[in-house]
Copies of this chain bind each other. A is one copy, B any other.
Amino acid sequence: MQRIPDAAIRRLPAYLRWLTECEEERVTSVMLGQATGYSSEQVRKDLAYFGAFGTRGVGYDVGALRDEIYRILKLDQGVRAIVVGAGHLGTALVRYVDQGHQVRHDVKIMALVDNNPVIIGTQVGSIRVESVDRLEELVHQYDIGIGVLTVPKEAAVIVGDRLAEAGVRAILNFAPVSVCTHYPDVFVQPIDLTLEMQALSYFVGQKAPHRL
């Protein structure tokens, strides 16, 4: 069995979302590709890494494929997350996931914590904001796998280490600093909105406008 490219894993959630939304019984790699913005070859190769789920000449069974991807991503086991930082971004995120923008209740935000006494105890969606002091306790209590960092950059490195120490397995870091815990097993995924926009600036200047 060969190693599976990281890039392939990252595309699976997009396939999954469209599969849960589409009305069809059967789909082809071309349909899946067009809906998600990837090439049909890419789709076939990605899926083939995990087995032969399709039928030649026919396509893929939507229900079966959905279940397979669900299982591959381990979403069937239900991953639990904690959001640290109940500022604008943190609360937006909690409400976003709460509102059911997610495919199914596969990634569940169990807790939202902050260090501001004024915010602690307030309600955000269905979740009550807890004190950041209870971080370790909450991670253990809910068996949290993912920590989401939406704190100011001054706090991010320290809180990142606390999350790793407490036992989370992955961190989604929105803070504008590079967070690298001392635990090599903890997977850190940075998402920096400002950096993203600055990179876009380059592409904005690249090509001539399509309108004059």
Number of copies: 2
Q: How far is the CA of A92 from the CA of B81 in the complex (A)?
A: 20
Within the complex, the shortest CB–CB distance from A160 to chain B, in Å, comes to 12
Query: Which of A22-30, A54-62, A110-118, A204-212 lies at the interface?
Result: A204-212
The digit string for A89-118, where 1 denotes a CB below 8 A from any CB of B, is 101110111000111001100000000000
In the complex, what residue of chain B is closest to A35 when comparing beta carbons? B178
Give the number of chain A interface residues (Cβ < 8 Å).
Answer: 69
User: A89-B96, A180-B37 known; A194 and B74 CB under 8 Å?
Assistant: no
The digit string for A160-197, where 1 denotes a CB below 8 A from any CB of B, is 00001001011010001010100101110111111111
A202 lies within 8 A of B89 (CB)? no
In the complex, what residue of chain B is closest to A198 when comparing beta carbons? B13
User: A146-B200, A185-B208, A201-B107 known; A178 and B36 CB under 8 Å?
Assistant: yes
For residue A13, which residues in chain B have a CB less than 8 angstroms away from its CB? 192, 194-196, 198-199
In the complex, what residue of chain B is closest to A74 when comparing beta carbons? B205
Q: A14-B178, A146-B201, A170-B200 are in contact. List 11 more A-B contacts (CB 8 A).
A: A14-B192, A17-B176, A37-B180, A75-B201, A88-B96, A101-B176, A106-B201, A145-B201, A164-B210, A187-B203, A187-B204
Residue ranges of A at the interface with B (Cβ–Cβ < 8 Å): 9-10, 12-14, 16-17, 35-37, 72-75, 77, 79, 81, 87-89, 91-93, 95-97, 101-103, 106-107, 145-146, 148, 164, 167, 169-170, 172, 176, 178, 180, 183, 185-187, 189-211
